[in-house]
Each structure stands twice: as C-alpha cells, then as structure tokens.
Amino acid sequence: MLVASRAFGSALRACPCRSACNLPKQFRTEALQRSRHFPVAYRPATRTMASEKDKAQQAAAEGPPAAQQPTIFDKIVSKDIPATILYEDATALAFKDISPQAPVHFLVIPKKKTGLTGLSQATESHEQLLGHLLVVASKVAKQEKLQEGYRVVINDGKEGCQSVYHLHLHLGWPPC
C-alpha cells in the first residue's frame, strides 16, 4: 500500500495529475491508483500487508525448503523460469519482480544460497556476499534511474513476511 510521505507528496505535486495533492491523506492512494501517472498494471494497494503475511504464514507452514530443494529463484538463476534480467555476474542476479508492487520493483539475489535462506542465517562467512548484493542493488538502481531515492527491503522469516526461502533484496520506487 502506498504511504504518503513528504518525499512522495512532492512527487504528487510534480505529477501531471495534480488533483491528488489536495486530497486528504487517506484518499491519496485511491486517487493515485486512478491517475495517469501510475498505470493500472501497478496497483500497489491490491497487495496488502495482510496478504503478504498470509503468504509468509503459508510458506512457514510448509516449512522452509531443504537446502537442496530449488526455490523459484533457483529456477530463475538456472533459466528454467524466464525473467527480465537487469544485472548478472558470477555471484548475483537482479531481475524485475514478476508481481510488481510499484512502478519500479526488482529483486537482487545471490546465485547460490550457500545456506543463506534468510538474513537471520547470515554469518561472518557471508559478509562479502551481503556487501556485494548491496553494491549490485545500487548499480541497478542507478541503471533504472532511481537517483532520487528508493527503498531496499529484506523480509526474513515467518513474522517478517518471507515467502521464498532464498535471501533476496526488494528494491522499489515509490517507497510503498
């Protein structure tokens, strides 16, 4: 769900659909969804925290997959599932989210899990990989012209709404 903030408010004023700027805070999201500025394909309010939590609860009930079982991200890395690749090197892959929650929404993942199914599994041995993932996120954000800012999110575990047990960074604009 979109959250009105000072930064987002200034984006609304710059938006060609200026009428949303004068609406009370609680109505801005709905007006934004109808605006020409954000196409219908990006209906951020359709996915709520409740649905994210439901997906995470379901994933947790099924239990984290064994390290040898491939996740959807493993299948994207192996090219068994197509994805719009934005960046790839020997250790990381960045691609557009198949279910975007914002006009710009992409993921950065390590190509090999190496026991890192979530951030809570990180050890000192993962330090270089975790730093590299953030550097890749920065590179792709620049490539996607997000110089004005963006949000990086890592969901971890059942209570953190993690639904795919393969460490991944969400990057998006506007921050939602």
Q: Which residues are catalytic?
A: 168
Helix (H) or strand (E) run with residue 131 in it? helix 127-143
**Residue showing tokens 């801005």:** 28
* Pairing of the two strands 169-173 and 151-153: antiparallel
**Position 93, amino acid:** L
Listed in order, strand segments (DSSP E) in the chain are 85-88, 92-96, 104-110, 151-153, 169-173
71 CB-near residues (< 8 Å, 6+ apart): 65, 113, 164, 165, 166
Torsion of CA 128, 129, 133, 139, to 10 degrees: 50
Q: Quick count: other Cβ atoms within 10 Å of Cβ 62?
A: 9
